[in-house]
Structure formats: C-alpha cells, structure tokens
A = this chain, B = another copy of it.
Amino acid sequence: MTVESAIIERLRAIATVPAARGLLDDAAVLDGLVLTHDSIAEGVHFFPHDPPASVGWKLVAVNLSDLAAKGAEPAGALLSLTLSSDDSWTEAFIGGVAAACESYGLPLLGGDTIALPDRAPRVLGLTALGRAAGVVPSRSGGLPGDRLWVAGTLGDSAAGLALLTDNPKADGPLVDIYRRPVPLLAAGRALAPHASAMMDISDGLLLDLSRLCAASGCGARIDLTALPLSRAFIAERAQHRAARLFAATGGDDYALLLALAPEREPDVTGCLPVPPTLACIGTLTDGNGLLLTDADGEVPLPERLGHEHRTS
C-alpha cells in the first residue's frame, strides 16, 4: 500500500455518510449538488515556466471534468488562491481562470486568498459545484457483461507533456491539449442517464479503469487496438503497441470512461454531440484483473498503470 492509499484509507474511515460515496468517486452528491475539489502544486502538476493563464484554465477544466463524469451542469466555484511575490503571474493566472469559467458557464462564487512563505511552490485549488440531472452515475455500478466506452481521445496530453519536457518552447496541438484540456460536459450530460458506471480519465486509462473495476467488483478485458487516438497523437508517436500503452497510461486525458449494459447501447451511440468520438474499448468481466489484448494477442500489463499522485 502506498503512503497515499494508506492516507485515503484513513480518510475513508471518517467519511461514512452516503453522500461521500466512500471517497471512491470523482465527486460527492449533496442535496442535488455534485461537489468536487482538485488542487494543483507548482513543480508537481505544472511547471514554473508554464504560462500562468494556462495553469488557471487547467485548474478549472480538471474540476469541470469531474462534473462532466457525473453528468452535472456547472453551478459555481470557490477558488483557493495563494499569493506570490510575482503579481503578474497571479494576474495572468486569474485571467485563465476567468476565461475557463466564462467558456463553460461556471460562476465564481467565492473562495480564499492566502499568503505563502517566500519562495514556497504555489498551491492552487478549486471547488466546483454542479447541478445533477437526475441519476448521478458512480464508479461502482458496472456489471460483468457491460461494454466499456471512452468519450474523447487518449494520450494527447501525455504526448504534449513529453514534448514540453524535451523542449520547454514546444508548441502545437498536443501541447495545447496538455495546457488547456477540454472538459466533456455535453457528452457527460448525454451519457450519464445511460451509464452503469462513469468516471473521468485523469490519471491514465488503465489506472482509472482499475479503480472503476475495484469499485464495481469486476475485472475488464481491453482491446488496445480500439483505443481512440487523435491524428495529432498518431502523427507524433504512431500507433504501434508501445504508443498505445503510452496512451493507456499517460494520464491528464479528461476523457470519459463508462460502462454500458449492451441493451443501452442503441440509446447512446447516436446521442453524442460531435466531437468527441465514442469508442468501445472492451468489456467488464467477472473476477478482478485487467486483461489487455491487441492484434498479436495478449499484452503484458505495464508495471505503471498511470499517475498515482492524485487520488480522489
């Protein structure tokens, strides 16, 4: 058990009300409101040299992606801001927050602004609230026999991050997606009434799928060749097995992963706004393991399924 999962177990012991969903979900649900909080730290979730407006955008987008996974409509946000000695950074950061809030109709309602000690890495947080539309899908409702679908594409953001790691001045569509992910709010609303289970893919498909499987008490079989990849991703990294494993473990996708009972498929596959794409990537199974295959047969599970740094 990692330190992080030990801590989560400790928190779970005090989060016993039904609205907490056992801390197994992207969000809590209280009085018809879907609630989520994500924080980001300089040097862990973003680079000091990242454009501050894109850091602000991303903080909003990652929280909205949690609302998307619950089929919720954005209702409001509280911003947790730390001041730095560089006013222009904070000013540009707030500009990015404002742009994302405006783009997705998320009203800023309040929050907190605090000082940090000199030279401390910035830590920024957002609580987002959304209005649930009827049933709120959880991670735990999947059943053996449900097919697994992904709305959106995988690996773009991780490929963008790899480009930036090689060259901080890199640009292009993959870097754009890393910096300004698009939360799939409309897709989430369209899919939520039909999904047996749904979550956003923030830490890597395989890691997040293993969480959905654990919550649902299922295993899964995944066809790597069915992973939805963008043209930009394929142009950069091709689509052989290693590229697909990279896309399946990269994280920061903010695509949606859902389980659908076969009889619900006709309701869904025609209903999505376009984009994003909707791709069937596998099936939930009895048992508890992940099985990967591609055209050459079974694929050994990679040692690292995704990013462990964020867990709830």
Contacts and interface: CB of A to CB of B under 8 A. Distances in A.
Contacts of A8: 113
A25 interface: yes
A298 interface: no
Given A6-B87, A28-B78, A110 B37 contact: yes
Nearest to A63: B112
Given A41-B114, A116-B123, A309-B114, A28 B87 contact: no
Contacts of A102: 14
Interface in A77-110: 78-83, 87, 90-91, 94, 97-98, 101-102, 107-110
A310 interface: yes
A82 B39 contact: yes
Contacts of A14: 94, 97-98, 101-102, 108
A40 interface: yes
A1 to B, nearest CB: 12
A20 interface: yes
Residues of A in contact with B, size category: 35 or more
A20 to B, nearest CB: 5
B30 A117 contact: no
Nearest to A40: B114
Interface in A42-96: 42-45, 75-76, 78-83, 87, 90-91, 94
Given A31-B33, A111-B37, A312-B113, A19 B91 contact: no
A127 B277 CA distance: 35
Nearest to A308: B115
A148 to B, nearest CB: 24
For A36, A97, A108, which residue has the most chain B Cβ atoms within 10 angstroms?
A108
A87 B7 CA distance: 8
Contacts of A10: 91, 94
A231 to B, nearest CB: 33
A83 B111 CA distance: 22
Interface in A175-230: none
A83 B114 contact: no
B109 A30 contact: yes
Nearest to A120: B121
For A20, A90, A111, which residue has the most chain B Cβ atoms within 10 angstroms?
A111
Interface string A106-140: 01111111111100110101010101000000000
A238 B21 CA distance: 51
Interface of A: 3-4, 6-8, 10-11, 13-17, 19-21, 23, 25, 27-28, 30-33, 35-45, 75-76, 78-83, 87, 90-91, 94, 97-98, 101-102, 107-117, 120-121, 123, 125, 127, 129, 131, 309-312
10 contacts: A3-B87, A11-B94, A14-B108, A20-B107, A33-B33, A41-B114, A44-B115, A113-B310, A113-B311, A115-B309
